[in-house]
Structure 1
Amino acid sequence: MADTGAAIELVGLTKRYPGDRQPSVDGVTLRVDAGETVVFVGPSGCGKSTTLKMINRLIEPSSGSVRINGEDVTGLDPVELRRGIGYAIQSSGLFPHLTVAQNIALVPRMAGWSGRRVRARVTEMLELVGLDPGEFRDRYPRRLSGGQQQRVGVARALAADPPVLLMDEPFGAVDPVTRGHLQDELLRLQRELRKTIVFVTHDVDEAIKLGDRIAVLGERSRIAQFDTPEAILAHPADAFVSGFVGSGAALKRLDLTRLRDLGVPGCPTAHQGEPLPQVRARLRASATDEMLLLDRRGRPVRWLRRADLTHAEGPLTEAGTPVGGTVTRDATLREALEAVLTDSTGRVAVTGPNGVYAGAVRLEGLLGTVRGLLAADRGRAREHQRERESTRPEPTPPEAEGATAGRAEGDAMGSAG
């Protein structure tokens, strides 16, 4: 397998357990393109995790096939197959008796990598998922938060540079805030790495945020709809999909737009240690009444208003108000709106990799963007309705119906004679 993403094809994939009247998974056929993120979403017990585990043969298919870059994996050694496929699960699945570094190094060591190469890869993976190698390398999993454990789990899944990454509800056991940050981190990683990702969740909002395409699965993993998030929200295939997606499709649309797609406006900034007169002059020259104080690593730490700078005498680290929550450039429009609505002044700092300042957004600007997006969606919906009506067959006039019926009756009698 190549080190970049690989295409996956499921052909008639079926799993039937002995004694069961019906298969758990019934004839799933779909294709995941190389470098694509496809999310399996559906109600509990529909077989989505079983389908996922048949890709790396943690569960053996009863019939059908799985092909990765055209090669049928049922003909491969299952252990070797799994070494070439990353796998991340709920609650991280880290070995508690191994350090963070040892957990990440497992598959590269089994693949015969040299010690030097393994150590370098552990450092690279920890930096990739936003954990300081010097701080976390020698920790044991019990000394990590839930979000940190999940980051290490993703690092371990990616350590041997597999072309395919399978993720089985990997963020389901963490709190909503941490879950949002982990989703953003996965989006950032995918932009950099372009792996082929198959992701399982029961959360429609998570599927909309993460998936290039979504497979909505019904009973026995039968595919109810396999399409882009935009298409599923705008045109659900049937009542099951519509009911599963739920109400508020217009609001869910906000999960399809990320701040990085809109362009994040900036605001005046100052750095810790800058002379106070220089900072005051910068704010006076701006069109706003507020600026962000950044630490020496460029991360937002305090909001400074004109009055704060007027009365400041000591270090700026004592002035203004601390930065509360931040959002990343990968945050969705919905997440950004939630953040500014919970801020008393209606603004939030935006960060990039490693928490470095990337801009700031305010309530008025976000509301204007939302109105524009929803208006465009309404226009597309009207256009789609007009297209449907234009292709609808014309009704047959009553007199024509009678003539057609008469001809049919005569034809039938002639045939009988």
Structure 2
Amino acid sequence: MPESSDGHAATGATIELDNLTKVYPGSPAPAVDNVSMEIKAGEIVIFVGPSGCGKSTTLKMINRLIEPTGGRIRIGGEDVTDMDPVKLRRKIGYAIQSAGLFPHMTVAQNIALVPKMVGWPKPRIKARVEELLDLVGLDPGEFHGRYPRQLSGGQQQRVGVARALSADPPVLLMDEPFGAVDPITRDHLQDELIRLQHELHKTIVFVTHDFDEAIKIGDRIAVLRERSHIAQFDTPEAILTNPADDFVSGFVGAGAALKRLNLTRVRDVEITDYPTVTLDDPLQEIFNRLRGSGTNEILLLDKRHRPYKWLRRGDLMRARGSLARAGTLVSDTVTRDATLRDALEAVLTDNAGRVAVTGRRGEYEGVVDMETLINSVHELLEADRLDALEHQHELQELRSAQTHAEQEGAEGGTKA
């Protein structure tokens, strides 16, 4: 596996599965049957398929939590099929559903576990723990000494990802890592993973049963049938616009154009600025700012510059010198890595035609409005319509060519 100058892996590595097979004793058929696949360095590949198709088994054979019955595994060109499995796992990050943190260890101890096992010096481990907590959006000073039971589900998953990245492995395996949290937290964790990948460029293999999650996160998606037979292995856009067969179409489901909203990020559309004020601003100044803004509302930010409340003119009239009861709490926000589908859902949930965009620590960065999102939907639908027309035209030309060839063949036969 590739290593950096200080002795640990720095970026992603290729993964090659060559006729990988798993047969359990007493079973008449293999659970995984001759899977061959090449995963590029630095890409996110999603395994998606029906329950029991073997996607988690295939994932766990990569780090040999499940030993293959046959076939080979190469990581960064190195055959790891016969390598000491314990040493192999220390070079591969692994994150699972419900985080899998050790309850008797603090957050810092959980993250430090693998670096400690591989012999990193204490100062380097301490620095790495703080770096990773910051990277996954948790304040090191606040979370360093906490125990898993003192964290929310979303916070536990962030620590789980930090622990998986602790020894800076080139490969990260994720088995339904966000499956046990609520939908809003899940969206934010997906955004966080996408943001992290922009910085880290790991090779990530990710198992999910949720096709929308696969579209949102994956560079490529492997749609798996029974025994992990590959039905289609392609980009999300290619699978949405050109599913290989009825089995894949069943995963895509209805509304492929709307699902393509998961392929476009908030950062790809126009983010508008919005008039903002802070809790420290005098009430009269807030009122003057709103009156001079030309809008009917203003966004109140908290002391850490995070969206806090939407204030309308009537709210300020009723405030009577205090903002405590004025305005409507910001119920949802999106990051620049969120998809347009996330943004559309947030706008519709809020029922006010806009959603605030935030940075990695929740700080305000702008607003995306309904008009921008609707225009994007129209563009996708129009693109789909043009693609369908082009495909229809190609079919007509093909049929015409076939008819012409058949007629020429018939004429040739008659002359003969």
TM bucket, shorter chain = over 0.9
Contact 1:302–1:317 under 8 Å retained in 2: no
Q: Deviations over 1:353-411 (max 9, x none)?
A: 1111111122233212211222122222322333344345422446834854997xxxx
Q: Deviations over 1:157-211 (max 9, x none)?
A: 0011111100011111112221111111111111111111000011111101110
Aligned to 1:167: 174
Q: Deviations over 1:132-172 (max 9, x none)?
A: 22222212112222111111110100011111100011111
Provide the C-alpha distance between the structure 2 equivalents of 1:359 and 1:68, rounded to a whole number of angstroms.
Answer: 42
- The 3 A distance-change label for structure 1 pair 314 and 144 is same
- The 3 A distance-change label for structure 1 pair 81 and 388 is farther
Contact 1:327–1:336 under 8 Å retained in 2: yes
Provide the C-alpha distance between the structure 1 equivalents of 2:278 and 2:85, rounded to a whole number of angstroms.
Answer: 54
1:11-410 map, 5 Å:
11-309=18-316, 312-391=319-398, 393-395=401-403, 396-397=405-406, 400-401=409-410, 404=413
Contact 1:94–1:103 under 8 Å retained in 2: yes
Contact 2:98–2:178 under 8 Å retained in 1: yes
Provide the C-alpha distance between the structure 2 equivalents of 1:371 and 1:360, rounded to a whole number of angstroms.
Answer: 20
Provide the C-alpha distance between the structure 1 equivalents of 2:186 and 2:349, rounded to a whole number of angstroms.
Answer: 18
Provide the C-alpha distance between the structure 1 equivalents of 2:224 and 2:100, rounded to a whole number of angstroms.
Answer: 26
Structure 2 counterpart of 1:381, which letter?
A
Contact 1:212–1:228 under 8 Å retained in 2: yes
Give TM-score, length-normalised by structure 1: 0.92
Structure 2 counterpart of 1:17, which letter?
Y
Aligned to 2:7: none
Contact 1:350–1:360 under 8 Å retained in 2: yes
Which ranges in structure 1 are unaligned for 5 or more consecutive residues? 408-417
SS in 2 for 1:177: helix
Root mean square deviation, CA, Å:
2.0
Provide the C-alpha distance between the structure 2 equivalents of 1:405 and 1:198, rounded to a whole number of angstroms.
Answer: 60
Contact 2:270–2:368 under 8 Å retained in 1: no
Structure 2 counterpart of 1:394, which letter?
Q
The offset of 1:119, in angstroms, is 1.2
Give TM-score, length-normalised by structure 2: 0.92
- The 3 A distance-change label for structure 1 pair 96 and 312 is closer
Structure with max Cα Rg: 1
- The 3 A distance-change label for structure 1 pair 402 and 62 is farther
Provide the C-alpha distance between the structure 1 equivalents of 2:25 and 2:317, rounded to a whole number of angstroms.
Answer: 77
The offset of 1:43, in angstroms, is 0.3
Aligned-pair identity in percent equals 68
Length, aligned pairs only: 407
The offset of 1:72, in angstroms, is 0.7
SS in 1 for 2:141: helix
